[in-house]
Structure 1
Amino acid sequence: MAVPAQPGKADVDPLLTGSLRRLVVAGTDADLAAVLVRLLRRDRLDVELAYIPADHRSAAARIWGLPHGAAAVELAREGAARPAPLVRDDGGGVLVGRGEVRGPAGPMHGEAYCDGSLALRGATRRLVVTPWPDAEPSPGGIDRPTPPGVAVRASRWGALPDGRHDPVPPSAAAGRGSAVGRAVQLGCLPATVIHDGVQHPRPITRWAWYRHTADWLLVRG
C-alpha cells in the first residue's frame, strides 16, 4: 500500500489492525521514524518493522546493519525481528538513525551530557546522536544491567558515534568528546536540530534524546 512520505496518523493508524504482525517501510529514515511514532502512540510496539532504505545514504541502515536493494527486500520478507532501543526526543518524535545539532551559521556553542559524562563544553561544528544497538545476549542467559541505547559524539566533521567512551574532563574549560548512555541532554545558544534528515521548525536552546522504557521490533536478522 502506497502512503505519503513521512506518513501521519490518517495514513498509518488504519493499518494497525489487531492481526497485523509486520509492516514494511520502503523509503527514507524519516519515513521509518514517522511509522514508528504511530506504533508508539497507538501502543502497538508489538508490530514488527522491516525497512527497505531508499538509497545508500541511510544512517539507520548503517547503524542497524541493514542491507540495501534486493537484499533488503529479502530481509523484509524472511528476516527475524529483534528488540531495538527506542530513542525518543524532546519534540515528541523518535530517532531511528542520525540526530544532529548545528549552529545557525557556523559552530554551535553549548554543553552536552550523556548520563553523567560530559560530551561537549564550548563550541563544535556538529553534535551527533544515534541509537546504539544492544549487545547480543551473553551465552547462558546471564543477567546484566539494562544496556544504554544512545550514543553521542561532538566533532568537527559530524562523524557518527562509534561507541567509544571518551568524555571531556569535568574540569576542562572546553572540549569535544563522545559517550554511550541512556540519555543525552544539551543546553546551548540557539541552534538547529535535524533528526533523521528533518529539520526541527524552530531554533532550540535545550534538547534531549533518551531511551524509552520499551523497545521496538526491527527486522534485522
Structure 2
Amino acid sequence: MSLTEGVLVRGLVLLCGGAELGFQLPEGAEAEKVPARPGKADVDRLLTSGPQRLVVVGQDGDLAAVALRLLRKDRLGDIAVGYVPTAHSEIAQLWGLPRETSASFDTAWSAEPRDVPLIRDDAGGVLLGLGVVRKPRGVAYCDDTEALRGEAELLEVRPDPRAGSDTSSSGLSVTITRGRLLKRRTRLAGRAFQLGGSEVVPERDGVPCPRPMSRWTWYRHTHDFRLVLPPTSV
C-alpha cells in the first residue's frame, strides 16, 4: 500500500521548469506549474492560502529557491516541504530520499517532516544539499579551526545530518580535497565556514553564484528547514 492511501493531506505540488509526474495526484493536492528556480512572483502568491505542505518536483536548485522564499516570508516553521527530484540529487542522496518517482512522491506527500539544518551564505542564498568551490586559494576557517591556508582542488560544504537541534552549534560539514593525483581529504564540522582569498565562483545546489567572490561564508541559519523524510532516513 502506498503512503498516500487513506491519508488526507492538503497542499500544493510545484512542478518546476516543466517537470511532470506522470500519474494522478491524490485527493487534496493542487498542482502549480512554475519556472525553474521559482522566485518571489512565482512562489509568494501561493503561500497566502496557508497550505499544510508543499511538494517541490524538480532539481536541487528548485528546492533551494522555494526554501529561500519560505525564509523571506518567515514561513520556515509552519510549512512542511517534500521533494521529488527529477535528476541526480545531492539532497536526496544526503537525506536518503527514495529514487523511484512514485515512492519519492508518496514520501513527500505523506511522511512526517523533520527539522534539518538550513545553510545560508552572506550573498543572500541558501544551501540544502551541496555547495562547491573549485580550486580555492586563500585562507579558510571552520568556526575557529584553520581549514585551509594555500590552495586546494575542491571545497565541498553540506548540511550535516549528524547535527543536533541546537542551531547555535554545528550544522554543516566541510570536505577539502588537495592534490590532483594523490588526493588528500580533510573533513571538518562546525556552524560556519569562511573563505577569503582569490576570486572564486561558489556553486549552491548546482547553481553557480552570479559573480566571482573574494570572500564567502556559509553558516547555519537560526531556524531549521522542515523537510519531509522517510522514516528510515539518516
TM range (shorter): 0.7 to 0.9
Larger displacement relative to structure 2 (197-206 or 25-34): 197-206
> Is this contact kept in 1: 2:139–2:197, CA < 8 A?
yes
Q: Does 1:23 align with 2:54?
A: yes
CA distance in structure 1 between the aligned counterparts of 2:193 and 2:169, rounded to whole angstroms: 15
Q: Does 1:44 align with 2:72?
A: no
Q: How many residues align?
A: 194
Decide which of 125, 133, 140 is 1:112's aligned counterpart.
140
CA distance in structure 2 between the aligned counterparts of 1:195 and 1:157, rounded to whole angstroms: 23
> Is this contact kept in 2: 1:115–1:181, CA < 8 A?
yes
Instruction: Give the corresponding residue for 1:87.
Output: 119
CA distance in structure 1 between the aligned counterparts of 2:103 and 2:225, rounded to whole angstroms: 22
Q: Does 1:12 align with 2:21?
A: no
Q: 1:200 to 1:135 in 2, by over 3 A?
A: closer
Unmatched runs of 5 consecutive residues or more in structure 2: 1-31
Percent of aligned pairs with the same amino acid? 49
> Is this contact kept in 2: 1:120–1:176, CA < 8 A?
no
CA distance in structure 2 between the aligned counterparts of 1:116 and 1:176, rounded to whole angstroms: 19
RMSD after superposition: 2.1
Q: 1:64 to 1:178 in 2, by over 3 A?
A: same
Instruction: Give the corresponding residue for 2:11.
Output: none
* Corresponding letter in the other structure for 1:209: W
* Corresponding letter in the other structure for 1:188: G
Unmatched runs of 5 consecutive residues or more in structure 1: 138-143, 159-174
Q: Does 1:208 align with 2:217?
A: yes
SS across alignment from 1:75: helix
Instruction: Give the corresponding residue for 2:186.
Output: 177
CA distance in structure 2 between the aligned counterparts of 1:132 and 1:157, rounded to whole angstroms: 25
Instruction: Give the corresponding residue for 1:219.
Output: 228
Decide which of 27, 33, 39 is 1:2's aligned counterpart.
33
Decide which of 113, 118, 123 is 2:151's aligned counterpart.
123
- How big is the shift at 1:119? 1.7
